[in-house]
A and B are shown apart, each in its own frame.
Chain A
């Protein structure tokens, strides 16, 4: 297919005709439209996958761990301390340590490990808080009706805790999108690569595109997930409406 025909390119061509040939400024729209499908979009996609995989792994670890911490309260302070410790270490430092101390080679693996470690604190904390917010009377009624502990967890507690858990996921995803940008420095790819590449080559079009796209990605996902959170708790919404 002729590249000037697919929609994104056509839109960019429109911009191009608006601004070129007076366009001497920062962004070379021509270059952008040429490299959209070869460089930009793949970087975006790579970034999304990287973040999704990391948060996915983090959720798989955090939900069971969070449930354990909610039940066996003595676990909670040490878990919070450890995950909190990881959270406080600046990402750039974390990447460096993973590479030079632990000995990972550059690429996606150390990045994913770091991203997972960063997500744990928020996710575990929100799982616990979410479960805590389930009214004891509700659990009591469920037990009284003959549900097993497992059924109570799956059918009562987790659904009621879901909005808070999703809120945690939202914070985790948005944080991870930001940190993944830095991860490009150690070869994780994604939108950060556009930035670092652009800086090295002193090519504003490239690094600005990377910066703007990563910002847009983060903000869009944030807004989408806020919407989702509200949709997930129709009972809270109606109560708010009644007020």
Chain B
């Protein structure tokens, strides 16, 4: 668990703080996304966890211990660190890059090699092909994968990721995000993830911390709650006026209660059950129909139908639930 307790940062010579009295907790195994406009102090906050920047006030506790209880260098060897431009060492091979922290921790060669191979496999790069290559030989997307592998190398319980998928095109980014979420299902790290992109935050985060300019915490909650119930005008506008649709992208078709198939379903658009509700809605509207035939079950067989009405009812119900239970 990572705890921010009243953390502030003001640079000397500056009157305004970059981070102001930040307090929140990140439970073990959660991805907490720090998101906000530029100047909101999200990267600064992240870098205070591994003490690349020291707070002017307040403290950060990791599993109950102050992160100042050991030297900065020792602390960082226990925290994975992946940044936007990757910062891969150009003069070392991929294998050497990934094996950096294990080397610092004194792992023996065999253990390191095995770990490197496992990690490269995990991020989708065949070890025998890539281990002895150099960063300059890899594409942007491949370099980002190596960056993630390198951060995971010593199996740290905590990871800091600063726009790790930012430097690639949107298509590559999407696939990297998916893969990372899949990996996280297995490894369950506690992750502080920084991005400026609210959509990425919603997609990746178990919890989102929205920061305002000047380093003030505007809202800290799950993506669903933030979308359903923005805490302020700032959050509302930051999240975007399409937040209802955004909420729909949090659910998949197969999570819904489907209507039975009755009557002729030949003219209905086919909807894969793994699509998000948002994408399903888009498909159905696009064909001019008012419902779609859901297929899936591993073999593409019909599972039921999904109507636009049902989707709308869901949105309304959620909002109403929110209001009556005081959300």
**Direct contact between A and B judged by beta carbons closer than 8 A:** no
Q: Report which B residues bind A (CB closer than 8 A).
A: none
Q: Report which A residues bind B (CB closer than 8 A).
A: none
